[in-house]
Structure 1
Amino acid sequence: MTLKPGRLAFQALLLTAAGACAAGTITCVPTPSSASAPAHWIRRIAIDEHSRTVNMDIVRSRTKDTETMGKMRAELLNMDETQSGEPVYVFNASPAVGAEVTHLFKLFKAGEWRLIAANVSFAGKVPALRGVESNVVFDCKRSDLG
């Protein structure tokens, strides 16, 4: 079978397009926590690798009897691959108008999926670390359907 240069270029273009569409999504929810630990404030993370966006369902406020849910959008800043082939996602959520805190996140797999978050506030243009949350275990599912 012989391939003409035009046909070969077309097939290469199709393979390149298929590779670009292979970027998928990953959706994560916190694993069931123990009865003594309060539920985490992030209830769901959805990362779209192609558009480099992260959408999170979060608890905006909590009282003894109720929780007010909300949404937070973040930008996927970096996506590296570990030696085991699993991705490491780094993303941030810029504060809403009037808010003072930027949230920085790192989602990675170390046996199980873990999320580390840090809160940074800015006084003028000077950043100050407000707090680092201990890592939380998440249950993540990948979809390569893009």
Structure 2
Amino acid sequence: MGTHAKRIAFPLLFLLSLATGSTWAGKITCIPGANSGTASPLNSIRRISIDEHSRTVNMDVVRSRTKDTETMGKLRADLVNMEDNQSGEPVYVFNSIPTVGVETTSLFKLFKTTEWRLISAGVTFVNKVPALRAVEQSVVFDCKRSDLG
């Protein structure tokens, strides 16, 4: 390889390594799985959309339910942490953004074992000290990736 070719090849290889280094950068969208059960409060979540670039999470949730209808709403969360697990899939940790006057927040963890699972914990702040209120059983979600890279 000549000197000119090396000067072109190295920067090109460097750019390609940067592009492939963040394999999971993009978006992931999840909906409840077919076998997610009905007992958990997490079943009120109808869709989770995580944007890894902006570190935001948007959830479509059931705000209220009657015999005949469901009233839907949106819940926004911050992506607090994202790191790979042993299977190479990322583990997402995010928290709901509490509204004014609400002293309770929900922490969520979305991870993949053999299937994607979501677990949550309710945390209440008393005199600015967090106290664990409740931990929900995990629920199965079907997740799909898009906009890679």
User: What's the TM-score once normalised by structure 2's chain length?
Assistant: 0.82
Partner secondary structure for residue 137 of structure 2: strand
Q: Unpaired segments of 5 or more residues in structure 2?
A: none
> How far does residue 13 in structure 1 lie from its aligned partner after superposition?
5.8
Equivalent residues in 2 for 1:8-87, closer than 5 Å: 8=9, 10-11=11-12, 14-15=15-16, 18-19=19-20, 22=23, 23-33=25-35, 37=38, 40-87=43-90
- Of Structure 1 and Structure 2, the greater strand share is in 1
Cα distance in structure 1, aligned partners of 2:22 and 2:85: 22
User: What's the TM-score once normalised by structure 1's chain length?
Assistant: 0.84
Cα deviations by residue, 1:60-94 (Å, 9 ceiling, x for unpaired): 12223222111111111111111121111111112
Change (3 A) 1:3 1:53: farther
Question: Percent identity, aligned pairs only?
Answer: 63
Q: Unpaired segments of 5 or more residues in structure 1?
A: none
Cα distance in structure 2, aligned partners of 1:33 and 1:98: 36
> Which of 112, 121, 125 is equivalent to 2:124?
121
Compute the RMSD of aligned alpha carbons.
Answer: 2.4
How many residues in Structure 1 have an aligned counterpart in Structure 2?
145
